[in-house]
């Protein structure tokens, strides 16, 4: 059975009638399951879904890659659509890491302190039918799909953004983004990795996926790679490591950043594609 990944929200519109906005949401269909991976930043997800002929009210489960607003801000709208569909009268499972509700901020001392966490209280989402399954362990989604769980950090050239913080009392503490996770799909050609923001690092995430599945081949990687703030040295190390995986499809989006995406397009010609709103990948 084919695996389909439809990009409902991304920074740029890749097809007519979709709208680009900073954030990401992917719908993955595999093993007879429809999993919504993130929701983008606003209710726009519903408009893009409708433009693409996707019924977001009928998804089976939701997975959240991490607790930033640009991946979770559409939750209220999605939960409303799910409730209207009547498909999940007892609520819908939302799988994520326990740290998603920590008060996340973009913080530069004496310059900026901006809340960038989930824009709704947990209770409000639960009242709309959310049933949170919060765990740092991988969760099996279907026969061949699972979440990565908390991504182990293995390489030293991938750094977590220094401006991302969590507010603890009155103090701002560096956010290690332990909640950052992806979805793994096992296929005959190797693993398919769906990334949210990859704040823990794309290479760390791929190594982690290999480790927890025991499968070495990586067939495809789709999603945010967080290379937007990578310097030249990190970019070179990442490219070198990525070439070692022999990836056949590389769909970069969102926090990859246009400049880093252009470099990847050049380095991985043949495998690379821009994964924008409206992009549908059949694997």
Contact positions toward Fe ion, by CB under 5 A?
68, 70, 197, 255
Provide the minimum distance between the beta carbon of 158 and Fe ion in the complex, in angstroms, as a whole number.
Answer: 14
Q: Compare residues 29 and 70 and give the one whose CB is closer to Fe ion.
A: 70
Using DSSP bridges, classify how beta strands 61-63 and 4-9 pair: parallel, antiparallel or unpaired.
unpaired
- Quick check: helix, strand or coil at residue 261? helix
Q: Compare residues 144 and 204 and give the one whose CB is closer to Fe ion.
A: 204
Provide the minimum distance between the beta carbon of 66 and Fe ion in the complex, in angstroms, as a whole number.
Answer: 6
Provide the minimum distance between the beta carbon of 83 and Fe ion in the complex, in angstroms, as a whole number.
Answer: 26
CA distance 9 to 26: 7
Q: Compare residues 133 and 229 and give the one whose CB is closer to Fe ion.
A: 229
Beta carbons within 8 Å of 274's beta carbon, 6+ residues apart: 12, 14, 251, 252, 253, 261, 265
Provide the minimum distance between the beta carbon of 203 and Fe ion in the complex, in angstroms, as a whole number.
Answer: 17
Beta carbons within 8 Å of 181's beta carbon, 6+ residues apart: 65, 66, 96, 97, 147, 148, 149, 150, 151, 196
Q: Compare residues 77 and 180 and give the one whose CB is closer to Fe ion.
A: 180
* Structure-token match 């399951």, residue found: 33
Provide the minimum distance between the beta carbon of 71 and Fe ion in the complex, in angstroms, as a whole number.
Answer: 6
Q: Compare residues 70 and 77 and give the one whose CB is closer to Fe ion.
A: 70
DSSP string across 157-198: S----TTEEEEETTEEEE---TT---EEEEETTEEEEEES--
Beta carbons within 8 Å of 87's beta carbon, 6+ residues apart: 57, 58
Q: Compare residues 63 and 255 and give the one whose CB is closer to Fe ion.
A: 255
Provide the minimum distance between the beta carbon of 1 and Fe ion in the complex, in angstroms, as a whole number.
Answer: 30
């Amino acid at each position: 059975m084919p695996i389909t990944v439809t990009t409902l929200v991304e920074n740029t519109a890749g097809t007519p009638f979709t709208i680009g906005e900073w954030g990401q949401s992917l719908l993955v269909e595999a093993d007879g399951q429809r999993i919504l991976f993130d929701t983008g930043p606003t209710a726009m997800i519903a408009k893009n879904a409708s433009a693409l002929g996707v019924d977001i009210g009928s998804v089976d489960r939701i997975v959240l890659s991490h607790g930033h607003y640009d991946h979770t801000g559409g939750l209220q709208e999605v939960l409303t659509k799910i409730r209207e569909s009547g498909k999940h009268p007892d609520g819908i499972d939302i799988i994520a890491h326990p740290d998603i509700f920590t008060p996340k901020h973009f913080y530069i001392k004496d310059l900026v302190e901006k809340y960038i966490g989930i824009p709704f209280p947990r209770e409000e989402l639960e009242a709309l039918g959310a049933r949170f399954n919060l765990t740092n362990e991988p969760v099996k989604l279907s026969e061949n799909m699972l979440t990565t769980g908390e991504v182990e950090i293995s390489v030293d050239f991938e750094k977590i953004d220094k401006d991302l913080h969590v507010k603890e009392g009155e103090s701002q503490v560096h956010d290690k983004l332990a909640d950052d996770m992806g979805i793994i799909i096992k296929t005959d050609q190797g693993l398919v990795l769906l990334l949210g923001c990859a704040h823990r690092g794309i290479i760390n995430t791929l190594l982690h996926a290999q480790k927890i599945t025991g499968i070495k081949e990586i067939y495809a990687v789709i999603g945010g790679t967080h290379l937007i703030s990578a310097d030249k040295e990190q970019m070179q190390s990442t490219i070198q490591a990525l070439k070692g995986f022999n990836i056949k499809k590389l769909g970069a989006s969102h926090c990859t950043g246009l400049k880093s995406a252009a470099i990847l397009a050049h380095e991985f010609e043949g495998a690379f594609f821009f994964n924008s709103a409206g992009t549908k990948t059949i694997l």
